[in-house]
Amino acid sequence: MKKLLTVKVSYMSDDGFGVATYKSRVIKISNAIPGEVVQVIPPKRRKTPTTPIKIIEESEWRVQPLCPYFNICGGCRWQHIKYEKQLTFKEQYIRKLFSPIIEKHGGSIAKIIKAEKIWRYRNKMEFSFGKGALNLALGLKVFGRFDKVVDLESCFLQKKEADEILRNIKEFFRSKKLTPYDNIKHEGFLRFLVIRTSYKREQIMANIITTSSGVLPMNELSKLIKADSLIWSITDSVADVAMGEIKEIIGGEFIEEELLGKVFRIYPYTFFQTNPIQAEKLFLKIRKEVNGGEIALDLYSGVGVIGIIMAEKFNSIIGIEVVPESIRAAYENAKINDINNIEFVEGKVEDFLLKFDKKADTIFIDPPRAGMHKRAVNAVINLNPQMIVYISCNPKSQARDIKLMCAAGYRISEIQPIDFFPHTPHVENLVILER
């Protein structure tokens, strides 16, 4: 019989698990809150999280999760924690990362900006097809598994209209007896459903990604679901990534969203902030804090959101982006917003910066989760801008990069965490640095 341990949860890990220690062993525990006493069976692998068999002493911060799939699907893992306490944990995480930098170089951390909506706030959800009790399942992956799918009827992170599309597509494909993709055998037809929505324009895009082993009945499907853009994409890659080559489009090839009075086109595979309500607060803060100047650089510019919103503050802005589809969308967005002082360059940020020979007054940075390439960090430092505005959904890699910038002579003007992702351990963070 496996050993049943009674342990006290002492703190929250960086990746959002309660942590307890038994003798010298560290045990990560999902669905646990610091201060609670729980019974657990320690997992075979030390880094693998476990789940409480029983909660003996509950925290005052524990609430009943809203979602019936909580602790099964790998989605929002903090539903059992009161929202106010979630914010506290996120602030503590930011302080843990940045306090050593502040102690050495100065600066301050502002109170986290809480989310206006804590449910149905995401404008993009990626669902997977898999085998289920009724042959076909459609939902999110089982927590800790790549080959099992939780069959969802709704997801409280997306709009209700997207829930309806999720259910209708699943029932339609079940009636057609289409086969889901098997991630172990690498065979089957249906792989992913990506639903994108806009909040102010109230538009919906449904992108179904399959292998090339069958034909999707697009015309029949388009009569069943209410989507402004219905897309069929194909991929035969074994990588478990929701991307493919577009095969067919019914309706528009993009949807539109508004941020701070500007209109932006969102294509199937372009990046756009997943919480547009909180994104407006972020960009409003940046627009207020940045003075402006002659030239600004917008690194990892995506569809041009930051550059277009900040264009009125500078004589010219240059956006750098590696994805060609995003460059095309960025130019379209500049045109429909009547922005004429911005240009976009396709390529890697580090390559562009090493060749750039002009003076940049401000550099905006919003990189992928991995953060900046070290060559890019050094190139930014060598360009010596007056101000650096660094946004990140991964404060750990952000702190790593900012430590180098501070060591090179920059000081932190402000650190502003913003909650983009309620009920998850993730937090968006803005850092403003001045020379």
Which residues are catalytically annotated? 393
Of 345, 262, 343, 338, nearest to 305 (Cα)?
262
Query: What is d(CA 19, CA 2) in angstroms, rounded to the nearest whole number?
Result: 20
Pinpoint the alpha helices (H) of 106-239: 160-175, 218-222
Nearest-5° Cα angle at 392, 387 to 396: 110
Cα pseudo-dihedral 2, 6, 8, 13, rounded to 10 = 10
Q: CB neighbours (10 Å) of residue 407?
A: 12
Q: Cβ(179)–Cβ(188) under 8 Å?
A: yes
Query: What is d(CA 101, CA 107) in angstroms, rounded to the nearest whole number?
Result: 8
Rounded to a whole number of angstroms, the CA Rg of the chain reads 23
Query: Which three-class secondary structure state does DSSP give residue 198?
Result: coil
Q: Cβ(110)–Cβ(414) under 8 Å?
A: yes
Q: Cβ(264)–Cβ(240) under 8 Å?
A: no
**What CA–CA distances, in Å, run from 180 to 193, 207, 220, 244, 397?**
12, 16, 19, 16, 36
> E strands within 45-143?
54-57, 124-132, 135-141
Of 399, 397, 391, 400, nearest to 418 (Cα)?
391
Of 168, 262, 173, nearest to 224 (Cα)?
168
Of 410, 340, 352, 395, nearest to 376 (Cα)?
352
Query: Which three-class secondary structure state does DSSP give residue 421?
Result: coil
Which is it for the CA torsion 279, 282, 286, 288, positive or negative? Answer: positive
Query: What is d(CA 321, CA 265) in angstroms, rounded to the nearest whole number?
Result: 16
